[in-house]
């Protein structure tokens, strides 16, 4: 396994982050346990979840599965960097969502209980809350850090100016602020190259791409049966819309001698701002395939060809659209 620092911190995490969104809804608890055991055995020490995963209001099903896995002991908790998220609705009350100090405190306590641990290594805001001032958010996060319940704070789905504003205010409070940003990013979706990636590079914020396989589009869809999520109407519409690009991409991956999913992950890893793409295996087979991406080195010519198939903005802002 390869490791890197999480943004500007001294914390070292694996170059792949185990995403757990499928644990519960798609993957049974025994299979989830087996996948987590295998990931840890293979050196993946970075696990990501969220309080809303499991998608039954207020239940925190996925966090509960992870908590029961951790409770088995044998160095499991000590062996991982545990990340979770808050923001989403966790109850029917008016304060059961978003980033008020009231909700931050309560959400953290509930996640700690479900995860059966005394601290969260990386506590991430799942979305920007435009109605809560940063002074309130940082005061609540600072308190959790002082109490030892949270070590680092991260964001997810933030715009570049949100990240800059948050860290500017944190610096004025002599607080470390955001150390990571979890954004949608893949060959299929390259919007963050305009501003988020440059901002993170300048501020020492690690980037954790979610959906690095483009919602499955980059996982090799043309020769596989349309089952499960691949059979959905939305996925079929996406495949037809993008078919010319997908055909070129899958043909090029054949020429490279690698599975499309592995090439997609290797592409995200070539960018030095990327800390770790978040993989979300539903099965052991998918986990083992994802790990293979770490051994792929993409040549400049291969990267150029991928840019031709899946063009990005071409540069950061404003050069991407102005002189």
Active-site positions read: 53
| Angle CA 304–308–314, to nearest 5 | 80
Residue of 216, 213, 246 whose CA lies nearest to 231:
216
Place of tokens 């090029």: 252
DSSP letters of 136-193?
Answer: HHHHHHHHHHHTTSEEEEEEES--HHHHHHHHHHHHHTT---EEEEEEE-SSS--GGG
Using the CB atoms, write b or e for 279-292: b if 16+ within 10 Å. Answer: bbbbeeebbebbbe
Helices marked H in the chain: 29-41, 61-70, 101-115, 134-146, 160-172, 196-203, 233-256, 260-269, 284-291, 300-309
Residue of 12, 84, 31 whose CA lies nearest to 286:
31
Q: Which residues pair with 155 in a beta bridge?
A: 125, 181
Residue of 16, 81, 7 whose CA lies nearest to 42:
16
Residue of 83, 87, 69, 66 whose CA lies nearest to 120:
83
| Angle CA 15–16–22, to nearest 5 | 165
Helices (H) and strands (E) in the chain, counts: 10, 10
Give yes or no for a contact between 314 and 257, defined as CB atoms under 8 angstroms apart.
Answer: no
């Amino acid at each position: 396994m390869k490791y890197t620092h999480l943004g500007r911190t001294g914390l070292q995490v694996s170059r792949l982050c185990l995403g757990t969104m499928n644990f519960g809804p798609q993957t049974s608890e025994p299979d989830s346990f087996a996948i987590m055991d295998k990931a840890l055995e293979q050196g993946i020490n970075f696990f990501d979840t969220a309080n809303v995963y499991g998608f039954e209001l207020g239940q925190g099903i996925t966090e509960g599965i992870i908590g029961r896995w951790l409770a088995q002991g044998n160095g499991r908790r000590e062996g991982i960097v545990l990340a979770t998220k808050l923001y989403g609705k966790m109850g029917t009350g008016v304060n059961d969502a978003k980033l008020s100090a009231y909700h931050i405190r309560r959400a953290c306590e509930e996640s700690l209980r479900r995860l059966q641990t005394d601290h969260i290594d990386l506590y991430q805001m799942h979305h920007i809350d435009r109605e809560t001032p940063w002074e309130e958010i940082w005061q609540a996060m600072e308190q959790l850090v002082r109490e030892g319940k949270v070590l680092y704070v991260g964001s997810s789905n933030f715009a570049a100016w949100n990240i800059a504003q948050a860290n500017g205010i944190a610096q004025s409070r002599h607080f470390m602020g955001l150390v990571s940003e979890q954004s949608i990013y893949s060959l299929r979706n390259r919007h963050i190259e305009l501003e988020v990636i440059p901002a993170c590079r300048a501020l020492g914020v690690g980037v954790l791409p979610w959906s690095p396989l483009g919602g499955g589009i980059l996982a090799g869809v043309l020769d596989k049966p349309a089952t499960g999520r691949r059979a959905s109407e939305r996925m079929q519409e996406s495949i037809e819309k993008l078919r010319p690009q997908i055909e070129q991409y899958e043909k090029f991956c054949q020429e490279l001698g690698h599975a499309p999913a592995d090439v997609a992950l290797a592409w995200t890893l070539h960018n030095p701002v990327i800390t770790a793409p978040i993989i979300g295996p539903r099965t052991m087979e998918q986990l083992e395939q994802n790990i293979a991406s770490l051994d792929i080195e993409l040549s400049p010519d291969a990267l150029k060809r991928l840019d031709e198939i899946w063009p990005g903005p071409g540069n950061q802002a404003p050069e991407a659209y102005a002189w």
